Amino acid sequence: MDDPKRQMVILALLGVALVGSYLVSDVPPDAAPSDAETQAVEAAPAEAAEPPATAAAGPTESERREVEELFRIETDAFHAELSNLNTGLVKLEPREERFTDGRGAPLNLVTTDKEAYYAFVLAIPGVDMPADAVWEGEQLSARAVRFRWEGDGMRISRRIEAGAGPFQLWSTVRVENLGDRPRPIKVRYSTYHYVSKEAEDAGFIGRPSTALSFGVCLHSESDEEEGEVEREEGSGLAEEAATFRGGVRFTGVVDSYFANAIAAADGRAGECHLEASLRGPSLDDVQGTLLETHLTYDEVTLAPGPPYIERTLGYVGPADRDALRLAGHHLPEVVDLGWFSFLANWLVDLLRWIHGFAGNWGLAIILLTILVKAAFFPLTVRSFQSMAKMRTLKPKLDALNEKYADDPQLKGQAVMGLYKSEGVNPASGCLPMLLQMPVWFALYRSISTNLELYHAPFVGWLQDLSAPDPYFVLPAFVAVLMHLQQRLTPSTMDPAQARLFMYLMPIMIGGFMLFLPAGLCLYMVTNSTLTMIQQRIIYARMDAQEDAATTGEDDAEGDMDPSDETVDAPSDEPGASANPRRRSGSRKASRKKGKRRGRS
C-alpha cells in the first residue's frame, strides 16, 4: 500500500460502501397495509407468539368499526389516539412541522390500521376475553386515558398517560381476581410495524433504505449485566422468528429515524419475541413486510383479593437521542451506531454543539469535517512523507521487477532487502490512515443515522439533508474532486493502470454517491476538498525542505576555505575553466533541475 492513489481509493470505498449501516434514501414510514395486503403470505411460517385474544375469529371488521371509540392524548410533542376495542394505539403524530408525509400531512408513526395489529396492544394470557370484547374507555385528562373490562371472573384496568419526556406513554395494568380460586396469568404487550417492499428496496449499493426495519430486543441474564441488543432484519425474521428469555429490558421495531419500543419498567420482563410475515396476495406478489414484537412478563398466580399491578413504558416517536435518554431504560441503544458507537455518540454531540452557533446543519457538517481533518493533520503529514520515500525507490524497484521477473520468491527477498538497506517501512504510509479509520467510520455512521438531518435544509436545492441530492450535484463534485486529486498525486503505478484509476474510479464512486443522503455527500465533498488542500500544503513543504537541503550542500561546497581549494592549472583543453566555484554553481543548478524533473 505504498501508493497514495490506492490508499485514496480504499478510503473512498470505505467512506461510501463500507460501514454497514442503515439507511440512505428518505422514505417515511409507510401507510397501513391495504385490504389485499392483510391477506398474509409467509415465505417460511415460523412458530408465532400467542396472538392477542382480539385477533381471534369473530365479528367482521366493519362490525368492530361501528362500536369503536377513540380516546386522545395530547402533549406539546405529539397527538395520539387509542381504541376501546383492544386499548391499542391507533395514531401517533409528532407535532414538529418537519415530520410530515409525502403530501404534507402530519406523519402517523403507527403504520397499521387493523385492530389485530395496533401498536402497544395489551393482552392477558390466562383470561378468556371474547373476540367481540369492547373496553369501557374514560378520558381522564388531556394527557391520560383509562380502559376497563370485566369478564371471565376477572376485572382488568389499564391506564395510559403521557410521560414527562416526549413520545413516552406509560401503561399501568391492574388485574383483580373476582373468583374463589387462584388463576395463572401473564401480562403481554405487542406492537406492530408495516413497511412496503417498494420502501424497503429504495436503498442502493452498500447502503440499505432508511425504511428498512429491524426487530430489536435488549436482554441480559442478570441485573448486573448490561446485556446486548439483538437486532434482526425483517427478511430474516420472516424466515425464522426469534425468542429471547430472561432479563428483558426492552423490545421493539426500529428503522433509521423512528422507534416503536416497549420497555419493562424495572427491567424484569421474562421474554421478548420477534417475528415478521410477508404480506400480499401471493408469494409471487409480496407487497410488504409486517414486523411484530411481543414483551411478556413472567407468569404469576393471582389469588382472589389483592390486585396484580404492572407498569410498562411505551416509546413511539423519532429516534431522537435526547428523547430516548429522557425515556431511559437503555432505549438510546435502539439507534445502531456500529462498532465504534462510543465515538459516534461523541461526534453526534459535537455536531449538535457546532450547530448551536452555526445555525445550519449543512454548515455544521462542513465545520465538523474541518475539525476532524485538522486533528489528524500530523498523521497525514507522516503518511505523505512515508509515501514520498517510497517514490524515490521506484527506479530501483522497477529494476528488481525486471531482473527477477521469472522468480517471485527471489524478487520478494530482493525487494525486502532494498527496503531494509534504505531504511524504509512499506507499511508506514498506511498505518497513520488505519489509525484514523475508527473515527471515519464513526463519523460516517453518526451522520447517516442523525435524526437532526431529517428534512433539514442546507442551501438552494438541498432542502433535505437526509434525502439524496435531487440534481446529483454533490455526487458529481465527489467524482470530479477524486479525479483531480489523482491527477495531482504522483504515482508509482503502471501508466495504464494509473489512467484506469484516474477515470474509472471517480465514475464508480460518484455512482455510489448518487442515492446517499445529501448530508453524507456534503461530508465527502468537504473531506475530498480538504484532502487536496492538505496534499498541496504537505508537498509544498517537502519541496521547500528539499530545496533548502540542496542549497545548504551547495553553499557548503562553494564556501570552502581558499587554502583547501585546489586551483586548476590552465589547460589547453577546449571549454576548460580555471574557476571551480563556477563549476560548482553549474552542478547546483543541474541538481535542482533534475530534482524537479523527477517529481513532475
Write out pLDDT tens, residues 423-439: 776 666 566 667 667 77
**Residues 474 and 513 sit within 8 Å (Cβ to Cβ):** yes
Round to whole Å and give the CA distance between 472 and 218: 39
Instruction: Give the strand order in the sheet containing 89-94.
Output: 70-74, 78-83, 89-94
Percentage of the residues of the chain whose pLDDT score is greater than 90: 33
pLDDT in tens, 299-351: 999 999 899 999 999 999 999 888 999 998 999 888 887 777 778 778 888 88
Q: What is the model's pLDDT at position 115?
A: 93
Q: Give, for 15, the enclosing helix (H) or strand (E).
A: helix 4-16
Q: What is the pLDDT of residues 226-285, one digit of tens each?
A: 778 899 998 899 999 999 998 899 999 998 889 999 999 887 899 999 999 999 887 778
Query: pLDDT band at 44, cuts 50/70/90?
Result: very low
Is the pLDDT confidence value at 290 over 90?
yes
CA angle, 591 then 428 then 20, to 5°: 130
Give, for 478, the enclosing helix (H) or strand (E): helix 473-488
CA distance 117 to 120: 9
The DSSP result for 393-461, as a single string, is THHHHHHHHHHTTT-HHHHHHHHHHHHHHHT--TTTTTHHHHHHHHHHHHHHHHHHT-GGGTT---STT
Percent of the chain's residues with pLDDT above 70: 75
pTM of the predicted model as reported, rounded to 2 decimal places: 0.72
Q: What per-residue confidence (pLDDT) applies to 185?
A: 95
What is the predicted pLDDT for the residue at 277?
Answer: 94
| pLDDT for the residue numbered 147 | 98
- Amino acid making up residue 576: A
Cell 408469494, residue?
A: 283
65-69, 525-529, 532-536: least confidently modelled range = 532-536
